[in-house]
Structure 1
C-alpha cells in the first residue's frame, strides 16, 4: 500500500544500504581526503533489536486477528449447526455451555492481546523513531561544527533551521509511524490474507487482488505527493528564513518605518505556504482515500465472494463471518498505511535536504593528526589565496610581535586572520605556526593555541561566566581573576542584576555593544593563548574602554594580529600589514609608513587619524 523511498545513493544510506563513498573536495591540506558523512541507517546498530520486536508485534497482532476469526467461524457454525467448509445439513442445535464459555474466553483473550500489542507497537515505534532521529541530529550537529562558518554563511538561515526542526520531524515520523507501521502492518496483512486463503482459497485470492490494486494506485500517485512535499518544504524554508531574519533584526525595520511593508511581505510568503500545504494535503488525502476505498472494497469483496462460495456449497456461513472479520481487521491496517505513503514522500524530501547539507565539505583533518605545539608564536603565510578574498599573500610575523592588519573595507583583513586561525582553509598556499602546517594538526589543538575576538563572533545565550570561560570551562580562579582585572569586568559584573550569573541573552542582546565587546575580549585572552587575534575588537568600545585593548596587548606575551582602523593602535604596533583588494601591498613598521609619502597616503586612506 505504500511506496518505498526512491532508489538513489542518498536513499540507500537511509534505508540501510551503505552509500557509495565520495571524496571531499581537496583543499591542498596534508590531511587525507575523507568521504562525506552519511545519514545513519534507519535500521542500524542499536535499533535492529527494537525493529525485530516490532516484527514480532506484527506477527502477534496477525495471530490474534486470525484467532478471533477462527473462533468466530467455529462459534457461528456451532450456533447454526453446520461444520466444515461446506454448508452442513440439518437444523441448528443448541451448543453446550462449556463450548460457549471456551469460545467467549478465547475471543476475549484474543481481543486483549490485540489491544495490548497495538499499544506496545506505538510505544516501541516511537522509541525507534526517537533513537534514530537523535543519531541523525548528532550527525548533523557534528558536521555543522566541522564546516567553515564562511561556508555556512552562504546558506539560508531558514533552510538551516528546517534541517534541525522540520526535516528531523519528517524523518522521525517516517521511522516511527511509517516504516514501523509498514513493517507491522505488512506482516499482519500477509499472515491474515494467508489465513483467509487457508480457510477459503477463492476468498483469500479475491481480497489479495483488491490489496494489490490499492497498492498500485498508491504507487501511481507517489510522484504527485513527492512534488507537493518538495514545494511545501521549500516555501516553509523561505518563510522561516524571512521571519527569523526579521526577529533578529527587528530594530532595523522599526527604525526604517517598514513594519507594514514587512508584514505584507511575510503575509505573501504565508499565503504561498498555505497554498503549498493545501496541495500537499490534497495529495495526502488522495492516498488516504485510496486506502479507505481499498479497505471498504476488501470487506465488500469478502462478503460478496463469501456469499457466492456458500451458495456454491464450498464454504460455511461461519467462514463468511470469519472472512468479513479478517477483512475488517485489514481495513484498520489499510487506513494506517494510507498515511505511510505520505510519511515516505516527506521523509524522502527531508533526506535529500539533509544529504545536501552533509555534502558540504568540512575542514579536512586526519583522525590521527597530532596536536600542534606552539612555543614561540612564529606565523608564516606562504602564497595563500582564497577565491574572492585573498590573492597570493605571503607574509611573516616574528614571535612575540604585535602586527596591525590594516586596509579598506573588503580588503581581506578578517579573512586573512581567519585563515591563520584555520577557521577557513585557503584554496592554495600554506599557513605555518612555529614551522608547523596548521592543516596537518588537530583542529582542537590549533584552536586552543589561538584566542580570537571579533564582532562576527557574538556571545552565546547563557551567563556572563559561561561566555568568559567558554574556551576554557575549567579555568582556575587565579586566571579568571587576572582576565577580570585586565578587561575591567569587575565594574561590568557589578552593574548586572545577577552578577556573573546574569544571562546575556541570545547573541548577548541583553547587554550593550560595549559590554559584549569587553566579554568577547576576555574570552579571547583567557588562558594566555600563544597567538591572539583581535579583529576590530575595539569597534564598539568608547574612548575610555578602548584602552582595554591597549592593556590586553601590553599584557600579552605571544604574537598578536590586530585588525584595526584606529590610528593609535596601529602606531603602537611593531609591524603593519597593509592589504588592498585581497593583496598584501605593504609590510613596514609604523614609523616607516608615517614618514614616507606613499605610506602616509595609504594610512590616511585606511587608518584615519
Structure 2
C-alpha cells in the first residue's frame, strides 16, 4: 500500500476515482437522494410510532386520525423507496463496474504491461476483485454514508428544537462513536492490508499453476501446488477472522454507546423535570427514538468507514493502474497514413526496457513498400523489440520510425492517427492469443464487414478449412487446438484485416516442418509489405531479403541469409 494511503489519504484516493465516473455522477447523486429520503422516512416512522405509543400510555387514548394517515403514508413511501433504491443502485453498480473496467483497460492498452515486469495474476486481481469492491462503494456505500450523515444532522436539528439536553446527549454519543472508529482504524487498516497481500499472493500462485498446468502434471507437482494453495487460503482465512473479530468488538462498543444514549436522553428528561409534565412525558419516547435514530446513523457510518480500509487498498491499486504512464506518446495533429503501398523506415533507433539493459542502439533499416523482409539474429538480440516498435506498441527511446510511401516519402508513426495505423498494420506474435468463442468471432476481431466467403478464403489460404469450420468453438485461448493450428488461425485473422503491412514475430518457431512450410508459403504470397522475425531457415529463405539484428550495435544486412 502506498504512503498516501497509509498516512490517511483515504478520501483523496477514493475521490481521484471519481474522474472516470463523471458520466455517472448525476446517477450517484440521485442514488444519494433516494437513500436519504428512504432513511428519513424510516426515522420518521420510528419517531411517530414512539410518540403515538407515548401519548397512548400517558393520555390513555388512541392517536388522532391524522397520525394514522401520516404513518400509513410513510410506510407506503418507505416501501416504494426501498424498491426503487434497490433498482437504481443495482443499475448504477453495473454502470460503475463497466466504467472502471473500461478506464483500466484503456490505461493498460496505453501502457502495454508486457514492457514491464508485472504479474498477470496481480493485474487480474485488480481488474476483477478490486473493481468489484469499488463498484459496491460508489453504487451503494457512498449514498448510504451521505444519507446517514444527513439523517444525523436533521435529527440533531429537531432535537435542539424539542429538547436541547437530548441534543447534547446526541452530540456526545456521536463523538464517542466517531472515537471508536478512529481507535479501530489503525488495526483495521493493518489487518486489511495483510489480508489483501495474502490474497494477491495466492492469486499469483494459482495463475502460475494454471498457466503451467502441463508442467505441473509432468513433474508431479500437483500435491505441492494444492498444499501451497491450502496453506495460503488458511492464512487468509485466519487474517479474515482477526478482521471480523475486531469489527465485532467495535460494533459491540457502538451498541453499548447507543444504550448509553437512550439512558442519557431519559436521564436528561428526568433532570429537566419533564416526566411530571404529561405533555413532556408523552414526547419523551419520541425524543429517545429521534436521538437513537441520529446516533445509530452515525454508528452505521462509522462502521462503514471502519470497513473501508481494505477498500482503500483496492482503490490505490486501481488508481495506480489508471495513472500508468503510456508507453507511446499521444499523437498530436494526427493524420491518415499515406495512400497506396507502405513500407517502414528505422532511423537511428534506440530502445531499452524499464529495468533492463539497452536492446537497440542507433539501429537503422528500411523496408520498401511491397517488400518481404526477414529479421534474423540470436535470441535476445531485439527482433521482437523491432516488431513491437514497427507496430507502435512501444515508442523508441531515441531515433524515429516512419511509414514510407511508394515515392520514399516518410511519415513518422507519431503523426499517424492510431485507429488508422491499426487498420494499415497487422501483427501476428509468436504467442498470439485466440479469444474464447467461435472461429468466425475470432477472425472478425479487429475488422468488420467481412462475409463468410471472405473468412473461408482466409482459412483456405492458411490451410485450415479442411479441419475447422467458422462455427467451431475454440475454447479459452484456443486450448483445443495444437500450436500449429493456433498459428494458422492467428495468421488468418491478420489476413482478414487486409493489412498494407503484415508484421510476424517467430510464428513458425515451434512448428513442425510441414506446418512451417505451409505458413512460410502463405507469407511469401501475401500482397502486402511483410516483416517477419524468425530464426528458421525455411521461413527466411522465402523472403526477399534478410536484415540481421545484433545486440547491442545493430547493422542492417540486405540480400544475405543469416549465419548459422
TM-score scaled to structure 1, two decimals?
0.82
Q: 1:208 to 1:112 in 2, by over 3 A?
A: farther
1:279 is aligned, of 214, 232, 242, to 242
User: Is the 1:365–1:443 Cα contact (8 Å) retained in structure 2?
Assistant: no
Note if contact 1:403-1:562 (Cα within 8 Å) is conserved in structure 2: yes
Structure 1 residues 55, 267: closer, same or farther in 2, change over 3 A? same
Q: Does 1:54 align with 2:35?
A: yes
Pick aligned residue for 1:146 from 97, 110, 122: 110
Aligned mates of 1:289, 1:41 — CA distance in 2: 38
- 3-state SS in 1 of match to 2:325: coil
Please show how residues 386-401 of structure 1 align to structure 2 within 5 Å: 386-387=351-352, 388=357, 389-401=359-371
Whole-angstrom distance in 2 between the partners of 1:246 and 1:542:
27
Cα displacement (A) at 1:104: 4.7
Which residue of the partner structure matches residue 451 of structure 2? Answer: 476
Which range moves more in the overlay, 306-315 or 383-392?
306-315
The CA distance in 1 between the partners of 2:259 and 2:87, in whole Å, is 28
2:437 corresponds to 1:462: yes
CA deviation map 1:357-381 (0-9, x unaligned): 1121223323752222352322101
Aligned ranges for residues 456-605 of structure 1 at < 5 Å? 456-493=431-468, 499-590=469-560, 603-604=563-564
**Which SS does the other structure have where 2:515 is aligned?**
coil
Tell me the secondary structure at the aligned position of residue 229 of structure 1: helix
- Partner-residue secondary structure (3-state), 2:470: helix
Q: 1:110 to 1:149 in 2, by over 3 A?
A: closer
In the alignment, which residue of structure 2 is the partner of 1:10?
13
Q: Is the 8 A contact 1:226 1:346 kept in 2?
A: yes
| Number of the residue aligned with 1:379 | 344
Specify the alignment match of 1:370 in structure 2: 335
Match of 2:503, SS state, is strand
Alpha-carbon distance in 2 for matches of 1:198, 1:8? 33
Task: Provide the rounded CA distance (Å) in 2 between the counterparts of 1:277 and 1:480.
Answer: 52
Preserved contact between residue 369 and residue 441 of structure 1 (Cα < 8 Å)? yes
| Residues 553 and 157 of structure 1: CA distance in aligned 2, closer, same or farther (over 3 Å) | closer
* 8 Å CA contact retained: 1:405, 1:562: yes
Structure 1 pair 481–12 and aligned structure 2 pair: CA distance change class (3 A): closer
Determine the C-alpha separation between the residues in 2 that align with 1:334 and 1:296. Answer: 14
Question: C-alpha deviations, 1:547-575, integer Å up to 9, x for none?
Answer: 22233233222221111122133233222
In the other structure, the counterpart of 1:259 is: 222
Deviation at 1:13, TM superposition (A): 2.2
**1:170 lines up with 2:133 in the alignment:** yes
CA distance in 2, matches of 1:381, 1:109: 76
Q: 1:300 to 1:65 in 2, by over 3 A?
A: same
SS of residue in 2 equivalent to 1:588: coil
Q: 2:424 aligns with which of 438, 449, 468?
A: 449
CA RMSD of aligned residues (A): 2.8
Alpha-carbon spacing, 1:367–1:49, altered in 2? closer, same or farther (3 Å) = farther
Instruction: Say which of 249, 252, 261 aligns to 1:289.
Output: 252
For the pair 1:233 / 2:233, whether they are aligned, the reply is no
Aligned to 2:375: 405
Q: Is the Cα contact below 8 Å between 1:54 and 1:125 reproduced in 2?
A: no
* C-alpha contact 1:292 1:331 (8 A) present in aligned 2: no
* Partner of residue 421, structure 1: 391
Alignment-derived partner of residue 48 in structure 2: 67
How far 1:527 sits from its partner (Å)? 3.8
Contact kept? 1:13, 1:41, Cα under 8 Å: no
Offset of 1:109 from its aligned partner?
A: 4.3
The CA distance in 2 between the partners of 1:367 and 1:396, in whole Å, is 25
- 1:562 is paired with a residue whose SS is strand
Counterpart CA distance in 2 for 1:42 and 1:348 is 22
Q: Aligned in 2, Cα 1:421/1:180: closer, same or farther, shift over 3 Å?
A: same
Task: Classify 1:110/1:321 alpha carbon distance in 2 versus 1 (closer, same or farther; 3 Å).
Answer: same
Partners of 2:29 and 2:330 in 1: how far apart?
A: 32
Local SS of the residue matching 1:422: coil
Establish whether residue 342 from structure 1 lines up as the match of residue 306 from structure 2.
yes
Per-residue CA deviation, residues 195-233 of structure 1 (Å, 9 max, x unaligned), is 233222112211221112111221232233222222222
Unmatched segments (≥5 aa) in structure 1 = 17-37, 80-94, 494-498, 594-601, 605-609
- Residues 3-30 of structure 1 show CA distances to partners (whole Å, capped at 9, x for unaligned) of x97367534424x5xxxxxxxxxxxxxx
Going from structure 1 to structure 2, the CA distance change for 1:282 and 1:115 (only over 3 Å counts) comes to same
Does structure 1 residue 180 correspond to structure 2 residue 136?
no
> 1: CA distance between counterparts of 2:175 and 2:23?
26
Structure 1's 106 and 448: CA in aligned 2 closer, same or farther, altered over 3 A? closer
In 1, are the aligned partners of 2:274 and 2:281 still within 8 Å (CA)?
A: no
Instruction: Report deviation, 1:466.
Output: 1.6
Q: CA deviation at 1:278?
A: 2.5
Match of 1:20 in 2: none
The reply on whether 1:212 has 2:175 as its aligned counterpart is: yes
TM superposition shift of 1:462: 1.0
Query: Which protein is bigger by CA-based radius of gyration?
Result: 1
Q: Unaligned 5+ residue runs, structure 2?
A: 1-6, 405-409
**Counterpart selection for 2:186 from 196, 199, 223:** 223
Q: Counterparts of 1:171 and 1:487 in 2: how far apart (Å)? A: 45
Displacement of 1:298 after TM fit? 1.7
Q: What SS does the aligned partner of 2:400 have?
A: strand
Q: Deviations over 1:478-536 (max 9, x none)?
A: 5334322211121121xxxxx32111111111111111111011112224311111212
| Alpha-carbon distance between aligned partners in 1 of 2:239 and 2:111, rounded to the nearest angstrom | 32
Q: Do the aligned partners of 2:331 and 2:414 also contact (CA within 8 Å) in 1?
A: no
Describe the shift of the 1:343–1:172 C-alpha distance in structure 2 as closer, same or farther (beyond 3 A). farther
What does 1:430-449 correspond to in 2, within 5 Å?
Answer: 430-434=400-404, 435-449=410-424
Total equivalences in the alignment:
546
Q: Contact 1:178–1:339 at 8 Å: present in 2 too? A: no
| Distance (Å, rounded) in 1 between the aligned partners of 2:22 and 2:370 | 51
